[in-house]
Amino acid sequence: MDEHNRNIHGVLFDLDGVLYVDSQPIPGAVEAVAKIKAGGWICRFVTNTSTSSLATLERKIRALGFPVERSEIISAPQAALRHLRTTGLSAHLLLEDDVKADFAGIPQASMEDAEALVLGDIPEVWTHDCLDRMFNAILRGAQLIAVHKNRFWQTGQGLRMDIGGLVAALEYCAGVRPWVMGKPSADFFAIALRDMGLPPERVAIVGDDIEADIGGGRAAGLYGILVRTGKFRPFQLETGSMQPDRIIDSIADLPDLLVDTLFP
Residue spans per domain, the chain:
3-48+186-260, 78-180
The DSSP letter of residue 230 is T
* Three-state SS sequence of 138-176: HHCCCEEEECCCCCEEEECCEEEECCHHHHHHHHHHHCC
Cβ neighbours of residue 113 under 8 Å, at least 6 residues apart? Answer: 90, 92
Do 3-48+186-260 and 78-180 come out as alike in CATH topology?
yes
The Cα 101–Cα 99 span in angstroms is 5
In this predicted model, what pLDDT tens digit does every residue of 34-93 receive, in sequence order? 999 999 999 999 999 888 999 999 999 999 999 999 999 999 999 999 999 999 999 999
Encode burial over 72-88: b for 16+ CB neighbours within 10 A, e otherwise.
bbbbbbbbbbebbeeee
Q: Phi/psi of residue 146, each to 5°?
A: -95, 125
Class of the CATH-defined domain 3-48+186-260: alpha beta
**194-240 residue pLDDT tens:** 999 999 999 999 999 998 999 999 999 999 999 999 989 888 787 76
> Domain 78-180 in CATH: superfamily?
HAD superfamily/HAD-like (3.40.50.1000)
